């Protein structure tokens, strides 16, 4: 059945789901996450609308605001000219916020893009050095509009904003971030404070040893303990040489609090996920033109990482991308008995993990942790949950402890997701039971599993949008 763009209102429950354990906000906890690079069969054929990661965190240099960020186009090669990667003009990109925990998004921000070819009689992306967003030497110009939807109200936040071009190299895009990247940040004043916006190419902030993980869950530092042993090695960051396309918005916490007050909600927790839509009908004209019609259909969504990647089975991944959080009861069984957790003892003989049902995993992934980032009233669903009253411990994202709550930082994953959170290590340990929810399994090696990749290959920015500038094609 085809889902149209507009959501229904209601609440969802996971039948029979018992959420075990109450955890005080001060308790140290580790949990799970990952990236959705090529996570479902159908979306691999349409990378321009493929969510790769979603982030939600209190802005480290501006703790009175929340930054929400989502990435698209996995494994984006920096040197992919002459048709460098860009957002799709025929797609709808969205970041969604659940204000009251009922698994239905109450506040939505939509990005729509428009591309103009300035000179269609050349193959060139640029005809000379590009030193400004309105430089006449830039031949491929993309702009965007951001729209806010709240309840039945719809308003344009900003329109005609420029998307920075690809980072081609020192001749074509000299001093990229100073001339182009930072110029892509726009500010919109409101009575609650400034909203900041960005959309454009960035260095992929995620870090993971994909090559080892998908080779029968190999962990290079632990190769000797694998059922098919190899020599121990350091991890390899498979995303070190790739870019993504990011959209980001910085919102005043005062504004989010105002909207929650309208719902009569007293807590300071929001649920966040990103999604992408295409219209259900695409028509090719006799002149080669393409028109779009029909309702908007969800083709990709991503909230709490890991769920679609390795929890939802292959036969259900496309259905997950086409569904909404309120529908997540259909995936509950796979969360309560995750396949990856069952594989760990088989691939690493001697390691024992907690038995199903994994109520610890359900709490981490679907409801948030009581006393930390669980809303006062919650319908279990796959979202990143952020308690924005918990302020950053440091102002530089490069100085945050990569293990977040595991290291005693309440502002780290799974209370939101920061750019530097090492969600792969955290997720491996959670699946093995290395958390306070299952103290009998919170021992080595369960709480020491690692892929050996501890951080991004490129430092993050100390200012919005925080994601590092895109890698240059010339250097790739």
Please tell me the predicted confidence (pLDDT) of residue 449.
Answer: 95
Please tell me the predicted confidence (pLDDT) of residue 41.
Answer: 63
Separation CA 200–CA 164 (nearest Å): 6
Spell out the long-range contacts of 208-212 with Cβ–Cβ below 8 A and sequence spacing 24 or more.
208/34, 208/35, 208/237, 208/238, 208/239, 208/424, 208/451, 208/453, 209/235, 209/236, 209/237, 209/238, 209/424, 209/451, 209/452, 209/453, 210/37, 210/238, 210/239, 211/236, 211/238, 212/236, 212/451
Please tell me the predicted confidence (pLDDT) of residue 90.
Answer: 94
Confidence of residue 314 (pLDDT cuts 50, 70, 90): confident
8 Å CB contact between 400 and 60: yes
**CA-derived radius of gyration, the chain:** 22
3-class DSSP state of 203 = strand
pLDDT, one tens digit per residue, over 149-162 is 998 899 999 999 99
Q: Provide, rounded to the nearest whole percent, the portion of the chain with pLDDT above 90.
A: 78
Residue 81 has pLDDT above 90, yes or no: yes
Bridge partners of 476?
none
Tokens of 8: 């229904």
Average per-residue pLDDT for the chain:
89
Please tell me the predicted confidence (pLDDT) of residue 39.
Answer: 59
Separation CA 359–CA 334 (nearest Å): 11
pLDDT, one tens digit per residue, over 248-282 is 999 999 999 999 999 999 999 999 999 999 998 76
Mean pLDDT of 36-53: 76
* Backbone torsions φ then ψ of 292, nearest 5 degrees: -130, 140
Q: Which residue has the tokens 């049902």?
A: 357
8 Å CB contact between 60 and 449: no
DSSP-assigned states of every residue in 273-336: EEEEEEEEEEEE-TTS-EEEEEEEEEEEEESSTTIIIIIS-HHHHHHHHTS-GGGGGGGHHHHH
Bridge partners of 57?
67
Please tell me the predicted confidence (pLDDT) of residue 407.
Answer: 79
Confidence of residue 2 (pLDDT cuts 50, 70, 90): very low
Tokens of 231: 């020599």
Please tell me the predicted confidence (pLDDT) of residue 286.
Answer: 75
Confidence of residue 46 (pLDDT cuts 50, 70, 90): confident
Please tell me the predicted confidence (pLDDT) of residue 318.
Answer: 85
pLDDT-wise least confident of 45-49, 190-194, 356-360: 45-49
Q: Provide, rounded to the nearest whole percent, the portion of the chain with pLDDT above 70.
A: 90
Please tell me the predicted confidence (pLDDT) of residue 400.
Answer: 93
| Number of residues in the chain | 476
pLDDT-wise least confident of 105-119, 212-226, 284-298: 284-298
Q: Which residues contact 57 (CB under 8 A, 6 or more apart)?
A: 66, 67, 386, 392, 411, 416, 417, 418, 419
* Backbone torsions φ then ψ of 140, nearest 5 degrees: -110, 110
Give the residue from 144, 160, 176, 156 showing the smallest Cα distance to 78. Answer: 176
C-alpha 139: how far from its chain's center? 30
Q: Which residues contact 289 (CB under 8 A, 6 or more apart)?
A: none
């Amino acid at each position: 059945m085809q889902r149209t763009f507009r959501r229904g209102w209601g609440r969802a429950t996971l039948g029979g789901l018992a959420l075990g354990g109450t955890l005080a906000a001060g308790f140290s906890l580790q949990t799970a996450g990952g990236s959705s690079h090529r996570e479902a069969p159908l979306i691999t054929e349409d990378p321009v609308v493929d969510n790769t990661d979603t982030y939600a965190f209190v802005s480290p240099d501006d703790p009175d605001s929340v930054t929400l960020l989502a990435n698209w186009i996995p494994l984006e090669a920096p040197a992919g000219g002459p048709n460098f990667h860009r957002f799709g003009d025929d797609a709808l990109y969205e970041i969604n916020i659940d204000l009251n925990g009922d698994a239905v998004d109450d506040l939505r921000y939509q990005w729509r893009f428009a591309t103009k070819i300035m000179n269609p009689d050349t193959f060139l992306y640029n005809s000379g050095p590009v030193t400004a967003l309105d430089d006449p030497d830039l031949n491929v110009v993309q702009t965007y509009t951001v729209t806010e939807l709240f309840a039945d109200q719809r308003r344009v936040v900003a329109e005609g904003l420029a998307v920075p071009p690809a980072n081609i190299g020192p001749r074509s895009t000299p001093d990229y971030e100073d001339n182009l990247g930072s110029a892509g940040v726009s500010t919109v004043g409101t009575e609650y404070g400034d909203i900041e916006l960005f959309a454009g190419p960035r260095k992929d902030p995620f870090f993971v040893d994909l090559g080892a993980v998908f080779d029968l869950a190999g962990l290079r530092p632990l190769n000797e303990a694998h059922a098919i042993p190899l020599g121990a090695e350091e991890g390899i960051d498979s995303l070190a040489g790739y870019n993504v396309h990011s959209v980001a918005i910085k919102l005043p916490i005062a504004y989010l609090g105002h909207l929650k007050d309208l719902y009569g909600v007293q807590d300071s927790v929001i649920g966040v996920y990103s999604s992408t839509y295409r219209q259900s009908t695409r028509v090719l004209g006799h002149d080669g033109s393409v028109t779009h019609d029909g309702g908007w259909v969800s083709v990709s969504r991503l909230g709490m990482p890991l769920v679609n990647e390795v929890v939802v089975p292959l036969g259900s991944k496309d259905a997950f991308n086409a569904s909404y959080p309120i529908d997540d009861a259909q995936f509950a069984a796979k969360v309560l008995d995750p396949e990856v957790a069952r594989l760990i003892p088989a691939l690493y003989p001697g390691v024992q993990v907690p038995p199903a049902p994994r109520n610890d995993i359900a709490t981490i992934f679907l409801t948030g942790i009581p006393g930390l980032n669980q809303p006062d009233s919650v319908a279990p669903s796959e979202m990143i949950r952020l308690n924005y009253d918990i302020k950053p411990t440091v102002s530089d994202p490069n100085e945050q402890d990569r293990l977040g709550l595991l290291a005693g930082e309440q502002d780290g994953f799974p209370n939101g997701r920061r750019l530097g959170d090492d969600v792969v290590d955290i997720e491996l340990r959670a699946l093995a039971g290395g958390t306070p929810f299952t103290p009998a399994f919170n021992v080595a090696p369960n709480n020491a599993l690692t892929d050996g990749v501890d951080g991004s290959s490129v430092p993050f920015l100390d200012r919005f949008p925080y994601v590092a500038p895109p890698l240059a094609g010339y250097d790739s």
